[in-house]
Structure 1
Amino acid sequence: MMIKKVLFFVFLLMSLVSFSQTYDTYKPEREKINDLVHTKLKVDFNFKEKQLNGEAWVTLKPHFYATSKLTLDAKAMLIHQVSLNNQKLEYHYDDLQMIIDLPKTYKKDEEYTIYIKYTARPEKVQQKGSAAITDAKGLYFINADGLDKNKPTQIWTQGETEASSCWFPTIDSPNQKTTQEIYMTVPDKFVTLSNGKLVSQTKNGTNRTDYWKMDQKHAPYLFFMGVGAYEVIKDSYKNIPVNYYVEKEYAPYAKDIFGLTPEMMGFFSEKLGVEYPWNKYSQIVGRDYVSGAMENTTAVIHGEQAYQTPGQLIDENAQENTIAHELFHHWFGDLVTSESWSNLTLNESFANYSEYLWREYKYGKLDADMHLFEDSQAYLDGQNNDKHLVRFNYVDKEDMFDLVSYNKGGAILHMLRKYLGDDAFFLGLKTYLTENKYQAAEVHQLRLVFEKITGKDLNWFFNQWYFGAGHPRIEVSYDYNTIQKTVTINLQQLNANEFKFPFAIDIFEGGKKTRHNVFVDNNDASFTFPYTKQPTLIQVNADGVLLCEITETKILSDYIFQLKHAENYAHRREALLEVAKKQEEKDAFNAVEAAMSDASYKIRILALEKIDLINKFSKKDAIAKIMQIANNDKKTLVQATAIETLGKLTDPALKSIFVKGLESKSYSVIGKALVAMYYVDKPLAIAKSRELPDEIRKILATPLTRIYIEENDEKELPFIAKNVLSGMFLTGDDATKSLYQKAFTRISENNNSEAIQNIVDDMVVKGNQYKSFNFDKVVINLMRKMIQDQEAKNTPNKIRNTEIIKEGMAKLL
């Protein structure tokens, strides 16, 4: 399951809220009384009632002890028949579980098949979602009545964590594994997708039954059904079909979005030493999806943020990390599954780290390190210091899907890889996957594999990083002995608990760098090294591998040297932020200007954002350099930032740069150029904004809103409400969120009925996110005010759908 990017900042806020919660009682692995063997389903769909008519044949056997009872999870269903060999069975059902009396006592390995006829009613499900997965009713009908002409009719499922039992009876636990077959009857105009292979299609009038079969075992939460009017774009890896299910509008771009998938499959197969283990790999995009993406075995679903056009993809493929993440789950999560949600790290930490592995392979170590830094920093900023990576005392299973299981877990795997070395690390992964394939596992099994291979005791590593909380917080000081020409580096841990770790230290003597690798094994550690001449800089955690917080005292010259010479991206970034604070000094200004040429495009962007052009030092030369960057940088995102920086000067002499930017293929460049142009030639900027096709205007909604709000352009308020406000959940930028607040205020002041309706429509889908950002009260007040005004004026122009308002308010109140 991928939650970053789409819901990242919601996720971060929710983690801050949950930080102070007390943990509940111990949550064990679910006891295995009966084992799932095979699941056969026949389903059709009642679009009007948003229900599923189903028949299930569930084959099981006692796990070890003989039993005469079976407990199945089945949430909010109508149960019509329960039988075995045509004999009706007695059962008790409480809307959550069925406890079935078997006709005899079954012994270990003695199989039996239960038949259940039922109606699944997802709208009646009571269980709630979380910050990561915002809903938990399992089965979703999108625009089921077809009344919304701007949205296709679709059906998709979401099983994680325990929501598959909202649409078929099962033992809804990650430590169960079953083969499956599904007969899906749908209107013939629709395409279907499920796990495994499409065996046959049988037409029956206007309907069609698709038969999907999965011969390899996987967990119930990985079952999937998708239905809709999709174009299927075909690709392949070796002899394995790789297909992309997209709406017709995006069919021309499907391979631009998903086309690296076969290469990823080959890379991961080779890196792990385990070939991709399934018979196909399909990816589908679902409207109104409740999370980022989900690793349903052979049938991954992505949220609609996956849809991108060439003007966006030229900047970066925002879905690429997610594509890698969900694919890697097909080894870690699907092939070998965490036995309990407490061990979720065996799924999500590996999928998180796959993003680093892919970027390292495809784009180089610098690019991968930038990604690792951002992931690690999100965890460090998230106030999760009280949470163990493996934790059995969580409040709710949904709480496990957090920055610890994802980001911290990925960083821990990176540390383990560095400590063991690549050969041992990847051989360990291969061994773990091979020994546990098609089974469930716990973290101790991973540790034992690495210990067997390396001969090292790793209890210390797993105890502090997997079964302990927090990370090292280190205070660093230096003692120089100029007579003996030595420097002593003192490390004091400020944590209550003590960490042990390998640690890289670089000592620079002018342009010469010496790397020292040490091992810290107590709270106070000191290491003494000789030098030939006084060190120019000492860089601790020089390789950036250790997940930690470091406090040390440095002066401006240290940071300027660090910005130019540090190996690790995070250290150059840290130095740039410090140097940028002192640009009244010429050396600092020159260092920031030089950083605009850094090998890291994110350093170049940060330097452009931070450079202070209101000073006496080489301003003309710096502007000329920024103009060059705006025209020629190989990264369009850097070009866009350069234009934004130039735009702040509001200098008509720069108009030609902005005109050229408006001709770019990059939407980021166009957006920044429009705003910059607005402040030197308003009529031209507004005219250009109106010439843009609707699909581009939607993508550029945020910069256009900046212009329209400043222009007080009331006729654009519906556009703002429809296209901008829904994007507020995807950014943590304070200026952008401030813009959204202004937009809300302007809509309220203007009583724009269409704009308010657009907010209501969006809020119905994203209610939880509105609540997370405290926009729910604003929306409710807007709706109430609008209704009151309309009633007072007795105007016929009322909000068009009172049922939508009621549904929206119910979600928010």
Structure 2
Amino acid sequence: MFRKLFLATSFVAAAAAAQAQDIDVQHYRFHLKLSDSSDRIEGEARMEILFPKETSAFSLDLVGPKGSKGMTVTEVGSYANQKWRQEGDKIRFEFDAPVNAGQKHTFLVKYRGIPADGLIISKNKHGERTFFADNWPNRAHHWIPCNDRPDDKATFEFIVTAPSKYQVISNGELVNREIKMTANGPSGHVELTPLVTHWRCDVALPTKVMVIGAARFAVKTFADSPAGIPVSAWVYPQDSTKGFYDYALAPSIVKFFSEYIAPFPYSKLANVQSKTIFGGMENASAIFYAEESVTGDRKWEDVIAHEIAHQWFGDMASEKSFAHLWLSEGFATYLTNIYFEKKYGADALRKRLEADRKQVLDFVKSSKSPVVDSTSNLMSLLNANSYQKGGWVLHMLRQEVGDAAFQKIIKAYYNKYKGGNAETRDLQAIAESVSSRELGYFFDQWLYRPGVPRLRFEEKRDEDGLKLKIYQEGLVYRLNLEVELEVGGRKERHVVRITGPETEFKRKGNVTGKLVIDPDASLLFEQVK
């Protein structure tokens, strides 16, 4: 997702458990009823669950009643040999006899209530009522019973009944949209009943990106969509002219990433103006952007690129746990930079990297956390470590192995983990295999260690030439530092290999002009005096 800056400290979420799963949800089928008379929803969830090991009991996540909000379970059905109870934010199931490893069973949960979070029921900037799911990181269980963790992926469908004035968008493909007519009273007067919309996603996804959105929308499918992949804009009718122009960037971005990474993994891509608390949220095949993303001047191009990059990394290839969030956010950040490099040139990339570096340096002044961070405050992970430093790590990996090998690493990592989950060491193994290099030091120093290198430079010139001393203050890194200088009227580039607390670089000759350290923004470091 693309952060709104206040979020890093404004919300504390309980961490999803990192232990091995006791259940593996195969498929969800959600029936939901939305109303304009109140914020109360009625839901029915049918879940096909695989039990990886012998089990006598298990739990599903669903936020229970707290004051006037929360969900009340009214009925549980299907599998006969079970007892259940709703307890706090869990539905707990116990079996009369253990379920054997490898067995599948279907469970039905009926419930109702007012969501405190997860499904945002409010009014948009035009004063019109809207319903938008907003699940990240583990907020889906505020409105749907589920196994709310990033490493349990399932196929799913939403069947949503809502007042007929609303259009409903969701992941996957539209199965059916129907308004039924019924006779009312002795006169046979015909009235419209609510609209029933059925979406189905046959790609297994984590709950963090399973969504619905219901609002009055103007919808446009772009003529330049990739073959077989309709790319569309869903915007408030009052904003349709600006919104269709802004979101028309999406087809070309999809094409770029489809070539750079792999074919687009879903059957469609809807770009939706919404009430998400984030600047953008990468819900698979149905990206939700903040209302203010519609400007009419395409100022949010980087946000659109970032969320589209997530369709591959974060949605299809997901992190095993939120400690490895950079595998989503760092990838989306750097792939956005690569897109800008391709479209606008190397100077655009350099400027974006310099801006990202500044954010990292500002962040590490107050943070003692590494990029791979097991904190239970999941919203606090929306920081410069996960985004900008994660992106910088990929940029430095690219410098380390070269452009061709780097792209092969990206492709190989995606192809191995699409539809699944990975952690940082899995990426390391792919990078080492593709590049035929040992990269443990690289991943250790950049991802498992807090902070950044702190370099101090001493430059001396005399009749013999130039001498540059480089000192590492604090922890020692293994670095490649590029310098640019002018000798005899010609510019030269040199790569200085830094492996210890003090390194010396010499260049004999008539060295003139300014010595430029890291001219292309290739290394993440803090320069100290």
Give the TM bin, normalised by the shorter chain.
over 0.9
Distance 1:243-1:79 versus aligned 2 partners, 3 A rule? same
* Residue aligning to 1:239: 228
- Residue equivalent to 2:73: 79
Measured at CA, do residues 430 and 384 of structure 1 come closer, stay the same or move farther in structure 2, by a change above 3 Å? farther
- Quickly say closer, same or farther: Cα 1:103–1:184, change in 2 above 3 A: farther
Q: Which residue does the alignment assign to 1:789? A: none
- Give the secondary-structure state (helix, strand or coil) at the position aligned to 1:244: strand
Deviates more, 1:113-122 or 1:97-106: 97-106
Report the CA distance between 1:84 and its aligned residue: 1.9
Distance 1:420 1:26 in 2: 35
Alignment of 1:506-545 (within 5 A): 506-509=484-487, 511-531=489-509, 533-545=510-522
Pair 1:50 & 2:39 matched:
yes
AA partner of residue 515 (structure 2): I
Displacement of 1:375 in angstroms is: 1.8
Counterpart pick for 2:320 among 339, 355, 359? 339
2:425 matched to 1:444?
Answer: yes
Alpha-carbon distance in structure 2 between the residues aligned to 1:536 and 1:428:
39
SS in 2 for 1:535: strand
**Pairwise mapping of residues 85-484 of structure 1 onto structure 2 (< 5 A)?**
85=79, 87=80, 89-123=82-116, 137-143=117-123, 150-204=126-180, 205-235=192-222, 236-272=225-261, 274-287=262-275, 289-309=276-296, 313=297, 317-382=298-363, 383-392=365-374, 394-482=375-463
| Superposition map of 1:615-634 within 5 A | none
Alignment match, 2:184? none
TM-fit CA distance, 1:551: 3.4
Kept after mapping to 1: 8 A contact 2:81/2:96: no
Paired letter, 2:72: L
CA separation of 1:297 and 1:149: change in aligned 2, threshold 3 A: closer
Output one character per residue of 1:317-370: Cα deviation in whole Å (capped at 9) or x when no partner: 221101000100010001110010101011110011122011101111111221
- 1:400 deviation in Å? 1.2
CA separation in 1, counterparts of 2:415 and 2:37? Answer: 46
1:487 aligns with 2:466: yes
Which moved further from structure 2: 113-122 or 535-544?
535-544
Would you say the 8 A contact 1:509–1:537 is kept in 2?
A: no
2:33 partner SS: strand
SS for the counterpart of 1:374 is helix
Partner in structure 2 of residue 629 of structure 1 = none
Cα distance between partner residues in 1 of 2:37 and 2:20? 39
Root-mean-square deviation (Å): 2.2
1:237 Cα deviation after fit: 1.7
Preserved CA contact (<8 Å) 2:485 2:511: no
**2:134·2:211 contact (CA, 8 Å) conserved in 1?**
yes
User: Secondary structure in 2 aligned to 1:543?
Assistant: coil
Contact between 1:472 and 1:493, CA under 8 Å: does it hold in 2? yes
CA–CA distance in structure 2, aligned partners of residues 11 and 478 of structure 1: 43
1:239 and 1:100 map into 2 onto residues whose CA distance is 43
- Going from structure 1 to structure 2, the CA distance change for 1:88 and 1:206 (only over 3 Å counts) comes to farther
Asked whether the equivalents of residues 218 and 438 of structure 1 are also in contact (C-alpha less than 8 Å), the reply is yes
Q: Distance in 1 between matches of 2:348 and 2:177?
A: 45
Determine helix, strand or coil for the equivalent of 2:244: helix
Counterpart for residue 478 of structure 2:
500
1:371 Cα offset (Å): 1.6
Cα displacement (A) at 1:227: 0.2
Deviations 1:193-250 (A, max 9, x none): 0110011112233311111000110101111000011011112221111111011122
Q: Is the 8 A contact 2:81 2:97 kept in 1?
A: no
Q: C-alpha distance in 2, partners of 1:320/1:254?
A: 12
Q: How does 1:729-744 map to 2 (within 5 A)?
A: none
**2:20 corresponds to which residue?**
31
What's the offset of the Cα at 1:479?
A: 3.0
Residues 570-719 of structure 1 mapped to structure 2, 5 A cutoff: none
Q: Assess if the C-alpha contact under 8 Å between 2:34 and 2:163 holds in 1.
A: no
Separation of aligned partners in 2, 1:513 and 1:203: 71
Aligned to 1:549: 526
TM value normalised by structure 1: 0.61
1:498·1:523 contact (CA, 8 Å) conserved in 2?
A: yes
Aligned with 1:277: secondary structure?
Answer: coil
- Name the CA distance, whole Å, in 1 between partners of 2:99 and 2:483: 63
Higher relative contact order (CA 8 A, sep 6+): 2
1:403 offset after TM fit, Å?
Answer: 1.2
Q: TM-score, normalised by structure 2?
A: 0.92
- Counterpart Cα distance in 2 of 1:25 and 1:283: 29
Going from structure 1 to structure 2, the CA distance change for 1:471 and 1:84 (only over 3 Å counts) comes to: same
Quick one: percent identity of the two aligned structures?
Answer: 25
Gaps of at least 5 residues in structure 2 are: 65-70, 181-191
The alpha carbon displacement at 1:488 in A equals 1.8
Show CA shifts across 1:142-174 (max 9, x none): 13xxxx994111100101011111111111000
Asked if structure 2 preserves the Cα contact closer than 8 Å seen for 1:189 and 1:229, the reply is yes
Task: Evaluate the alpha carbon distance shift between residue 239 and residue 384 of structure 1 in structure 2; reply closer, same or farther with a 3 A threshold.
Answer: farther
Native 8 Å contact 1:71 1:100 kept in 2: yes
Where 1:90 maps in the other structure, the secondary structure is strand
Q: Distance in 2 between matches of 1:165 and 1:100?
A: 17
User: 1:720-748 CA distances to partner (integer Å, 9 max, x unpaired)?
Assistant: xxxxxxxxxxxxxxxxxxxxxxxxxxxxx
What is the Cα deviation at residue 536 of structure 1?
1.8
Aligned to 1:798: none
- Once residues 202 and 150 of structure 1 are traced to their aligned partners in structure 2, the CA distance between those partners, rounded to angstroms, is 27
Alpha-carbon distance in 1 for matches of 2:88, 2:272:
31
Deviation at 1:535, TM superposition (A): 2.4
CA displacement at 1:389 relative to structure 2 = 0.5
Classify the secondary structure of the residue corresponding to 1:453.
Answer: helix
Match of residue 183 from structure 2: none
- Please give the alpha-carbon distance, in whole angstroms, between the structure 1 residues aligned to 2:386 and 2:49: 32
> Which shows bigger deviation, 44-53 or 160-169?
44-53
Deviation sequence 1:646-682 (CA, Å, 0-9, x none): xxxxxxxxxxxxxxxxxxxxxxxxxxxxxxxxxxxxx
Q: Which AA in structure 1 matches 2:400?
A: Y
Displacement of 1:374 in angstroms is 1.2
| Residue 304 of structure 1, CA deviation | 0.8
Measure the CA separation in 2 of the matches of 1:547 and 1:28: 33
Contact in 2 for aligned 1:30/1:173 (Cα 8 Å): no
Is the contact made by 1:432 and 1:446 (CA closer than 8 Å) also made in structure 2?
A: yes
Please state which structure has a larger fraction of its residues in strand: 2
Letter aligned with residue 70 of structure 1: F
Name the amino acid aligned to 1:169.
P
Higher helix proportion, which one? 1
Q: Verify the 8 A CA contact 2:353 2:521 in the aligned structure 1.
A: no
Structure 2 CA distance for aligned equivalents of residues 500 and 211 of structure 1: 54
Aligned in 2, Cα 1:11/1:290: closer, same or farther, shift over 3 Å? Answer: closer
Per-residue CA deviations over 1:248-295 (Å, capped at 9, x if unaligned) read 1221223320112111111111111x10111110011114x3111100
User: Secondary structure of 1:237's match?
Assistant: coil
Q: C-alpha distance in 2, partners of 1:230/1:178?
A: 28
Partner of 1:685: none
